[in-house]
Amino acid sequence: MCVACDQLTGAGEGERDLVCARCWSRVRLLPHPRCERCGHPKTDETCAWCGLLPQFVRACRSVCWVSDGSGGAIVHALKYGGWRKVAEPMGERMARTDWPADVMVERAALIPVPLARDRRRERGYNQSELLARVIARSWSVPVWTDVLERRRKTRTQTRLTPGERLANVAGAFSVAAGGGSRLRGAHVVLVDDVVTTAATLNSCAGALYDAGARIISYVTFGRARSGSDAV
């Protein structure tokens, strides 16, 4: 049974994937051309999406849109459906995204966006950490789960306006005691399932930068598409 469409998978499809070939074919990949820095599709030389990112963020990459196609259903299966094995094919696709050469050389570790303790206890896992561990095997870099902490519980960002998203995550993350020694001078990559306005990732990145990280990049499976984005 496909966890994205609830239909029976084909005879040739294994249990490992859990998403049928039809749903994978309906994932809406971000189209080209894309901005070299933020990876967002663009129609001219300017890139408005880059304006969402702090100067110390080097690059951001995502696999697909989650506002249409089957990408959102796949994320939902991992995040809310308890289908943790879906992280495997998702993370493999995230690992294959293209990056500027300096990011590929410098990336020292992957840092998953942390969940609040009660949310992790309820879910049983942090989906961003599962994705990070899949990517780490491909990139041959460590996953640092004890560096970044969530200081307080926040509301889900799904139905919030851009301004509310910023206020919701402001000051919500901090670096654990002793974490700064590993961060000092490092280029680290933050991992999350979806990026919309980058408010959560930017809040995490700010804490890492203040603690000594030299530069930060982002990688997500999905990216929310606005009405002005090309399909």
pLDDT digits (tens, 9 = 90+) for 100-119: 999 999 999 999 999 988 88
**pTM of this structure:** 0.91
Copy the structure tokens of residue 230: 């090309």
- The pLDDT of residue 13 is 56
- How sure is the predictor about 15, in pLDDT bands with cuts at 50, 70 and 90? low
pLDDT at residue 134 above 60? yes
**pLDDT-wise least confident of 16-30, 130-144, 158-172, 177-191:** 158-172
Segment 120-143 shows an average pLDDT of 97
- The pLDDT of residue 171 is 64
Given a contact cutoff of 8 angstroms between Cβ atoms, the answer to whether 203 and 167 are in contact is no
Segment 31-38 shows an average pLDDT of 94
For residue 221, the SS3 value is strand
CB-side neighbour CA atoms (13 Å) of 126: 17
Given a contact cutoff of 8 angstroms between Cβ atoms, the answer to whether 202 and 54 are in contact is yes
State the first-to-last Cα distance of the chain, in angstroms, to the nearest integer: 29
Higher pLDDT, 68 or 115: 115
Domains and CATH numbers, the chain: 31-223 (3.40.50)
